[in-house]
Structures are given as structure tokens and as C-alpha cells.
Structure 1
Amino acid sequence: MLRLIFRFALLWAVADAIFNVRLGEDITLYWELDYAAGEFVAEIHAKNVDPTTGWVGVGFSSRGNISDGSGDFCITWRDQLGAAASASSAGEHEPPMQITDVNIRNGTNIIEVDQQQDCLDFQFVFQNGTLKWTFRRKFTTCDYFDYALEEGTTHLHWVKGTGPLYDIKGVSIKKALDQGFKRIRFLKNIESPEQKQTRINNLRDGSTWNFKILNTQVKVPPVETTYWCQIFKIPEGVAKKKHHVIQFGSFIQKGSEDLVHHMEVFHCSADAHVSIPMYAGPCDASPPELSVCSRVIGAWAMGAEPLSYPAEAGLAIGGPEFNPYVRLEMHYNNPGLKGGYVDSSGMEFWVTNKLRTHDAGVIELGLEYSDKMAIPPKQKRFQLTGVCNRECTSVSFPRDGITIFASQLHTHLTGARVLTRHFRPSLHPGNVDGFVELPFMNWDNHYSTHYQEIRRLKRPTRVLPGDVLLTTCEFNTLDRTNITLGGFAISEEMCVNYFHYYPRTKLEVCKSSVAWKSLREYFHFMAEMEGQHIEPEGAVSSNYNGIEWTPFRAKLLSDFYNKSPIDMQCNQSDGTRFPGSWDSMSVPKFPKLLQARNPNDECYL
């Protein structure tokens, strides 16, 4: 049994062992994970709840829409009908709170009661005007009306309303006093006491110090989404001499906890003597000189923990050849359209001059930033895959391989699922084309571009020379009427996995795109066989936009991508390719990536 149950008075004594997130202005969720038992215990503190008729719930959905059939809540409430019967027989006037496992009727906001009740071990207390309640639930309940918790992004909902109620069934979530959702990583990593103490000791070491990259009194406008960019110079003491970053995390100004959605810090990869304009303003109005500020050195999203590097590695910054400029990109989320916000949040870095055994590095996997790859409109799950092929890993990785310990998945607005598959050469006759598939290296079946963080892998992974890494993204373009091209604009698309690893090698980019020769042949086919009014030798974007997209032509494009040769970007840190011919390369036929399965399905296999 986890320690959180009915520990209201002792909560703060065990706060270091659990996670917490604020939900709206009045609710805070605390939770503890038990991976061995496959369950969690939650404790919710809700302020401003009517002690006689109030009801409160927390729950989950697949993508933030509780009406799509995935809405699942545990709700605590009072049964006034039961209270009346109790009062007449026993003189009891106030019914106790109870908990009910409910789902949201598909296509509506109406609560339905689950036949199988999985919100267990409920207890509650009103304390100093706050309702505190706790329950236990399995990650996977084997009930299709329950949301199954899995790795990656979790859309966490809250709801608070008032009665009186005689039944929770039939109540409309829409009529609640307060409701909303946040994206978090619910199934977080757990540090052992020894690991935690080692990390704390490292931060307290006399050779370690910290610095902050903070916005300066940003007046956040009363609009839902603001992307704010600002250029900084890192402290001279760090810039002039090589250091290792050993941890980074957020530094959120008090009062901005619900405003700051996510942020990234990018190093400006230019010569050491190059000056970068000290810009501060909307990201989409940034001067062109800021385009070199694109190497991620820190990232955080709401609910994320600080990222600590393994004891044997650190991210190298500073030194004679190091450009001292960085760019802070902040995403402010203001759905209430409130005015008057002034924010000075940012990121905090811990560095040491006691260099660790290995420099850590970052490799970009996935698709080349190019309009050669595109997604037709009206697609629910269109897949694109970027290849890091065996030729590239063979020439770039040391004989003992590299260790990947963290990962950041990235797409733009239509990305819905991202994962990287890992294949290793094998001589076993039963393996496909001489490869065996190893466990996924990072995956998110509920991905959202609005929640991006660098995640420590639960199990660091060794990648050897000759291994193949396939990064696949699923895109949903049901609301788009024309083709979505690959590119840098937010309306265009990317498919990237930034792997953090050690020891650092010269490899910085291992990405692919469809081969130019094959793409021209495809456009000739579309013009000659499908009668499309395009110029096959003309601009790629014009050709894609000139095609009249139908479900059949979308399927043709998908099949073409999956069977065509690729052009490889096997790029070193100076931007040049490793020696060799990297165009029109063949790709072994790997097993098709299947549609994401509901973990509840595993109960019935």
C-alpha cells in the first residue's frame, strides 16, 4: 500500500516522495506511483467547496476532449436522497461524501456511472475550509470506460460543481463551476533515496554553481497564446572556460504558475566572436540573425521535473570557441484572456568546472526540414518516418556505442503520435532482413505540440554502430483543406526526436527525406497517370499544392514514401556530411508500425 492514503496531517512530511500539480485556482493534485503494483494513489485538496452540496472530480481524456468517448473521472459528491432516508431513520442530517467512477457519454458532456467501479479506498476530510480526499486506482483497469494510463503525455482534467444532487448520473460537466485540463507526464520517473541524495550532493559541491536565464518584466497580452523570445549572454565566467551543465529546470515567478506553459533555451551556434542582436519580443517577429539560435540546451514544460544529467556526463558549454549568446523561447498560455500579467520567469542551469568523464551530446533524428515530405488534408493518422540508417551509425558511433538517456519529441500543430523504434543487425534466420527489433526508445501515443519536455528515459539505451533508428510521426489533418508541407513555420510540419546521449561524437544530425530522383518520378506519375495539372520538374511546394487530394491519392503518397529510397543527412557538428554517398539510399523493409493499441486490450489477449 502506498503511503499517501489518509495521511492528511502528515502530507507535508512525505511531500518529497510524491508529485503535485495545481489544477485551476482552487485544486491541487498530489499523487504517488507504485510501478510494481501498476497503480497510483491520489490526494486532492479543493478549496471553496460547498461542504453540503459541493462535488469535485479529477480525471483523464485522450487528447483534452472529454466528449470524444475517452472522458473518465473519479468524482466525490454527497447523496441528498440518501441523506433524507438516513435522517428519517437515524437522525443523521449530513450525508458523507462518496466517490463514483464515471465516464462522459460519447458526444456529450453528460456523466454516466461505470458498471465497474475502479476508484478505490476513498477517504475524505474537510479541514480549514478545504476538502481533502484520496483514492487509489490501477494504471490499467481492464474497463474500456476507464482511461488507461501509459507513457508520454497525459491530459489531466478537473471539475468542481455544486448541487444538491440525488445522483451523479446525468449531471452535465458543462454546468460545473470550474473545469479544465492540463497536459502533464503523469507516469514520472522515480528516484531512489540513494539517487536523490547523490544528485543533491552534486548540486551542493563547491565546484557547482547556478545561473538563471530570465525574461525581463514581459507584459503578457490578454490573448490565449503568446510566444515570447529574448536573447541573453550567459555569464562571462561560464562562457570563457569549459563547464558541464549537470542539471536544468524552470524558475517560475510567483503568480505565473498557470501562465507559463513551456519554454526552451537555444544556444546560438555561431563563431565565438559573432554578436547576436539582443532582441526581446514576439518570436514570429524575430530578426533573421536569430536563426542560428537553434541548438536546444534546455527545455521545460508545465509539470516537468528538473532534468539531471547522469553522474558520468554533462553538457559542455563555454570555452574559447563557444559563442556566449542564447535564446529563451517562452510559451504563455492565457485561456482566460486576462490582462495585467507581468512575468520574469525563465530557466535555471547548474554547472560545474569539475568536468565529468564524458561530454554529453544531442542528436537530431527524424525527417529533414524540407517540403519534400508532406501530409495530405483530411487525414486522421498519416504516418511519416525519418531514418537514421545503419551506414550513418556505422561511421559515426564508437565501437562500444553511445548511451541515450533523455529524449525530446517534436512536431508542430498536427502531430498526434511520435515514437522512435530501434533495430539491431542479427544473423538469426527468423529476423526480418537481418534485423531484430528492440524496445521503443521513446514514445508518446497522446502527443501534443503544446507539451514538450526533455524526458529522462526510464531505461537508458545503448545504440551500437550498425543499428537503425526509425522515428515515426502520426499527423491528424482532418481540419485542413490542403496539403501540409514540411518546414520551419508553425503551420508547416516537423518530425524530430532530439536524443541526449554520451559520449559526444561528431554526429549531430541523422535524418532523412524521400530521394529527389524518386520524388520527381512521383510527380511525373501524378501528372501523366492521375491527370494532375502540375509541373513535375517545377517547385516541389507548387506540385504538392497543385494536386487535388483524395483518399486514394493520399494512400498512393503514403505507399510511395514507405517504398522509396531516401536522401540522408548524416551531418557532423560543422554542418558537413560524413564522407560517402548519401543520396538515393535503399532502406531495408522493416515491419509496419501498427496503430496504437488501448492498453486495456492487453487484458483480453
Structure 2
Amino acid sequence: MMLFLLITLASIHSGWSQRDSSMDINLARNAVHTIPLGSEVTFHWRVDLMNKQVIAEVHFVGNDSSWFAIGFSDYGELKPADYCVLWSDWHQQIHFQDSWADVDGKLHLDTQQDCDSFAWRRRGNITKFTFSRKFDTCDEHDYIIERGTTHLVWLRGRGPLSSLAGLEISDAKASGMSRTELHRVSHKKPKFPANAWQLELLAHRVQVPKKETTYWCRVHKLPSALRQKHHILQFGPAIQAGNEHLVHHMEIFHCAGPVDLEVPMYDGPCDGADRPEKTQICKKVLAAWAMGADAFIYPEEAGLAIGGADFNPHVMLEVHYNNPELHQGAIDSSGIRFILTKTLRKYDAGVIELGLEYTDKMAIPPQQEAFMLSGHCITECTGVGLPQSGIRIFGSQLHTHLTGTKVITRHIRNGEELPPMNYDNHYSTHFQEIRLLPKPVVILPGDSLITTCTYNTMKRDNVTLGGFAISDEMCVNYIHYYPNAQLEVCKSAISDDALKTYFRYMREWESQGTSTEKGISANYKSIEWTKVRVEALHDLYEAAPLGMQCNSSDGSRLPGLWNNIAATPVRLPLSPPIRDCLGTSIQQEISVQM
């Protein structure tokens, strides 16, 4: 790939409309990953782990003098943001420059140029350009590309320009944002048995509404072949051609009820008034895909069990359509494609829920920029719930609701913190997928796992409580692993006794309106949240004893004392990662001296 880029660069001369087809940039054909950024913009990329960089190619529709900026921001905002800008001057000379937008939306040329290996082509009204970008450039104005969600932002405007000086975000005639997992590890192509077969669970000719966000649900009944237990080996998207920019993410939920329970074959908006109540049992995630994601491939030793004599045959497809350009008339029949086999692998894969209980015992005060809550899977629970040889975690799906901005699951063994099992420093509830880990993580009996979520409630005037509603909050990590163990839920909340003591303290010492006559939610809502009280609540959650959910797959508690139990201590925390910026600092000093 790099050799091809070097050849392309060597062939480029000044001028905007070079048309040598033999030298056409063709990264897209060999790209590992592709994501549409809109109906007229596509982003292709691959990850170069050896050189710690991303190699990207952008295709966009525009006239000869259009300027185009592609970049990154923390949560999809156009300002502030980090951009690489392609533009032409009135001499039709092409420029490609590293810049950044300040909080007011004004673009500034970066003193350290890090949009490298630039090459471009134009054919008709389509421009293609390619560039490389280091994961960490050690530039204070540059975004650090890391594991987890990346928010890609783009701008397109009219040219020609004399320079980038004075250019503002508001000058763009079109713009957009898409989320993807940019920094990812490619896995080897799987080998499937000869009797493997495909099952597609699709929407049926949905007329995508002319509005930005639509969630569409369709219940399916699985084919009779799945009366026999199978293993899922892989799942991925089956997107109707031409609708790649509309299908934002999709999930398949199992309707986990008695095997003979009939679930209505609903096909309509997920929040439709006519959606049957019985479809509400369709909540257990079997598959989740988001725009730009690869197919999810199970390890060679394991598969996810589906079907069998005791398996309810109903599942529900949920499709999130994202239509910010308000296109009209699109008809869609996209969905999820599974690869299955009746030849069972050595292990059944399993899913364990980590994090916080779905309860109002945990609260997030209003007007908080970064309030953290932690859910614990303690030593005692993994000790009784996991096999002596441990389990191997290969996938993870992080989950919060609307105010979650960061999630991390820390791994503790014998008091020592090991590398994090999974994390996302730019988390968005609108981009949830089951992600393969870079390499499997072994969890042994006695290990503990701490899942910490960070929330931003700056736009809320009252306390946010834990719960099931989208306006409530959650903090969960669904870990995918093998071999299947008896442990299925390992989550915590503050103990009931500690919470009662807290509310009594707030009434007696802080003169707040809490009362033993009120429920938990009402008590939290009775508190006036000053800065001191917010800090006190955080300290309480960090120090208070826990109430644990240490449950098996049938919902029963595993043997043990799970109330008023201490969190597993972390005696040796993991040191913060060290950035390799020494060489960059020396180069900057030399540049300044010159």
C-alpha cells in the first residue's frame, strides 16, 4: 500500500484534472474498512499498526474548485475539531494542509503539519484523495486516534481560496459527522465447515421516513432447521445497495420466553403505538452491528448457541435509519446475515453482564460535565462463578444511555491492575456494536472487573437515576467469552443500608427534604445539588459497601453473602500510558531555534 502511494505521489504534477487512469488512486479496492459519510462522501481506510498510523482515502462529489475538510472531534462537534483540508487557489494549484478549528469555528493552519503522504485524483465531478495520519502526533491541536469510537467530521465549501486564513466552519456549504471504530485490529479470514449456511433476517421494503432518526422493528420466526441446536459462527450486515448511508446500526434481539410462546409478527416503528406488548420480551441481544463495522467473527473454538428444543423461535430485528439529509422515497430491506452450522464447536460462547444494576440506587446529579459511576464484579463472585481454568473474553459491547461519554472496564488480579479489558474514551450511545478485542483476555476465578462510566448532565436540571428508560442511565459491559460458565450477571450498586444512612444524614445534617417515607427516586430528587454535595455523593459511592448481583443464567443468586460487601481493593493501580513524544519535542525545539 505504501509503495503504491509513493508511486502515485511521484506521478503527480501541478494541475487539478489529471486523468491518467493507470495511476488512479485505488485504495478503496484494497481497503479493509469503508464508511459512507453521507450520500456524496465516502471514507476508506486501513490501519497500519507497524507504523502506528491510519492510511485513508476520501471520495467526494464537488466542482473543480471545491474545498473539502476531513477531520476528527471528541463527540462529533464541528468545532473545535482537527482537520486535514484540501483546497485549490486561483492558479488551480492544489494544497493539503493540517489545520484546526477553535471553539468559535475559525480555522487555523497548524504549525506542525501531520496530514502526510497526500495524493489526489479527479474524474468528472468526483475527487479522490489519500493521506496518512499518525495515531498520536504529539501536537496539542491534533486528535489522538485510539481504540473505541472515533467521530469523523467533514466540511465542503466553494472555492477557490487564497489561503486558509479567515476560513470558518460557517463558510461550508455542506457538512456532516459519522462514527466508527477507526483504530481496529483486522482478524484473519475464518474457515467455515462445509455444512455452514446463511440466514438473513431482513427488514421488508421499509419506506424510510423523511426525518433524521427512525427505529424500525420487525419480528421474525426462525426456520424449522433451528429446532436443532446450531452455532453462530459469524454475523454481519446485509445492506440494500444504495442505502449504505441510511442504515446507521442494527441489532437482533431474541424473544427469550417459553418455547411455545407466540410473539406477534410486528413490523413497524419500534415506538409505534400499535406495537404489541408481547414483543417487549425481545430484549436479549444476539447480534449488533453499526455503520463501518466489520463482520463479527467467533473464535475457531466457540460459537454462539441458537435454536434447540427449548429455544423460543422468535427474534426481532431493530434497524436505526439515520437520514440527516432528509431523503425521501428510499425503500429499504437491509438486515443482519448470519453464518450457522449444526456441527457444534468445542465450546458454547457465553455473555456476562458487568457494571451497575438497573436500579435507581445510583444517581448522577445535574449540571455535571464528568461524573463517574463504577459497577463492580468482585473477587468473591468470579471465584464461585467461573471454572478453575478461567474464561477467554474475545468481544465486548459497552452500553450507557444518553448522558454516557466514556466507559472502561478495568481488570484486577491479586490487587494488581492489569491492562484494561475494554474502553471507549469517546463513547456515544448512538454507536453501539459488539467489538472484537485486539486479543483475548483471560479472566481467572478471583479476578475482579470494575466498569466505570463517565456522564455529562450539563443539559439536565434534575438528577438522573439508574433505570430502564432512555432518560434514565445504565453502565454495562456485555462481555462475550468461552467456555460458557454458570455466571451470567456480575453487577453491583450501593448497599441498601448505606443509602438509607446517606438519606438520613442529608435530612438531619444538610436540612434536605429526604425522608424515610419517600422512595429512593423521590429522595434523590429532594436534594439541592451544590458542588459540595455532588463531591460527597461521589465519595460515598467510592467508599460504601456494595449490594451484589452474582447470578446464574436461570436468574438465581450463586452461593455467597452478597449484601454489604466491600469492593475488591486495587493495591497496585496501572500506570497511565506513556506517550512517545520525545522525538517530536526535540524536532519542535530545533524548528523554533532555526
Q: Which residue, out of 128, 135, 138, partners 1:142? A: 138
How far off is 1:414 after superposition? 0.1
> CA 1:311 to 1:447, structure 2 compared with 1: closer, same or farther past 3 Å?
same
How far off is 1:218 after superposition? 2.3
Decide whether the 8 Å contact of 2:392 with 2:443 is kept in 1: yes
Give me the whole-angstrom Cα distance separating, in 2, the residues matched to 1:46 and 1:600: 34
How far off is 1:345 after superposition? 1.5
| Aligned-pair identity (%) | 47
Give me the whole-angstrom Cα distance separating, in 1, the residues matched to 2:338 and 2:212: 29
TM-score when scaled to structure 1? 0.90
Give me the whole-angstrom Cα distance separating, in 2, the residues matched to 1:226 and 1:585: 43
- Cα distance per residue 1:427-475 (max 9 Å; x no partner): xxxxxxxx11100011000000010111000011000000000000000
> CA 1:593 to 1:477, structure 2 compared with 1: closer, same or farther past 3 Å?
farther
Decide whether the 8 Å contact of 2:255 with 2:281 is kept in 1: yes
Give me the whole-angstrom Cα distance separating, in 2, the residues matched to 1:327 and 1:593: 42
What residue identity is the alignment partner of 1:360? Answer: A
> CA 1:592 to 1:346, structure 2 compared with 1: closer, same or farther past 3 Å?
farther
> CA 1:3 to 1:57, structure 2 compared with 1: closer, same or farther past 3 Å?
farther
Give me the whole-angstrom Cα distance separating, in 2, the residues matched to 1:479 and 1:351: 45
Give me the whole-angstrom Cα distance separating, in 2, the residues matched to 1:581 and 1:604: 54
Give me the whole-angstrom Cα distance separating, in 2, the residues matched to 1:187 and 1:155: 12
2:439 maps to 1:453: no
> CA 1:363 to 1:23, structure 2 compared with 1: closer, same or farther past 3 Å?
same
How far off is 1:253 after superposition? 1.7
2:63 maps to 1:50: yes
Q: Which residue, out of 296, 300, 304, partners 1:311? A: 300
Give me the whole-angstrom Cα distance separating, in 1, the residues matched to 2:44 and 2:532: 49
Give me the whole-angstrom Cα distance separating, in 1, the residues matched to 2:380 and 2:538: 24
TM-score when scaled to structure 2? 0.91
Q: Which residue, out of 242, 257, 271, partners 2:258? A: 271
SS in 1 for 2:564: coil
Give me the whole-angstrom Cα distance separating, in 2, the residues matched to 1:597 and 1:501: 26
What residue identity is the alignment partner of 1:36? Answer: M
2:249 maps to 1:262: yes
Partner residue of 2:590?
none
Partner residue of 1:441?
421
> CA 1:234 to 1:9, structure 2 compared with 1: closer, same or farther past 3 Å?
farther
Q: How does 1:492-571 map to 2 (within 5 A)?
A: 492-571=472-551
How far off is 1:223 after superposition? 2.5
SS in 1 for 2:216: strand
Give me the whole-angstrom Cα distance separating, in 2, the residues matched to 1:50 and 1:301: 31
Count of residues in correspondence between the two structures = 569
Decide whether the 8 Å contact of 1:141 with 1:600 is kept in 2: no
2:154 maps to 1:158: yes
- Cα distance per residue 1:148-203 (max 9 Å; x no partner): 11110001012221112111121122222221110011112223xxx22xx1x31x
Give me the whole-angstrom Cα distance separating, in 1, the residues matched to 2:202 and 2:572: 45
- Cα distance per residue 1:301-357 (max 9 Å; x no partner): 111111000001000111111111112222222223333333221111110111111
What residue identity is the alignment partner of 2:82? Answer: D
SS in 1 for 2:2: coil
Decide whether the 8 Å contact of 2:25 with 2:120 is kept in 1: no
- Cα distance per residue 1:226-265 (max 9 Å; x no partner): 2222221111102x10100000011112232122111111
What residue identity is the alignment partner of 1:354? Answer: T
Q: How does 1:4-19 map to 2 (within 5 A)?
A: 5=5, 9=23, 15-19=29-33
Partner residue of 2:592?
none
Q: How does 1:167-566 map to 2 (within 5 A)?
A: 167-191=163-187, 195-196=188-189, 199=190, 201-202=191-192, 205-238=193-226, 240-285=227-272, 286-425=275-414, 435-566=415-546
Q: CA RMSD in A?
A: 2.2
- Cα distance per residue 1:390-420 (max 9 Å; x no partner): 1110111111100000000000000000010
SS in 2 for 1:167: coil
SS in 2 for 1:584: strand
Decide whether the 8 Å contact of 1:148 with 1:599 is kept in 2: no
Decide whether the 8 Å contact of 1:445 with 1:596 is kept in 2: no
Decide whether the 8 Å contact of 2:416 with 2:573 is kept in 1: no
Partner residue of 1:103?
100
Partner residue of 1:573?
553
Give me the whole-angstrom Cα distance separating, in 1, the residues matched to 2:238 and 2:297: 15
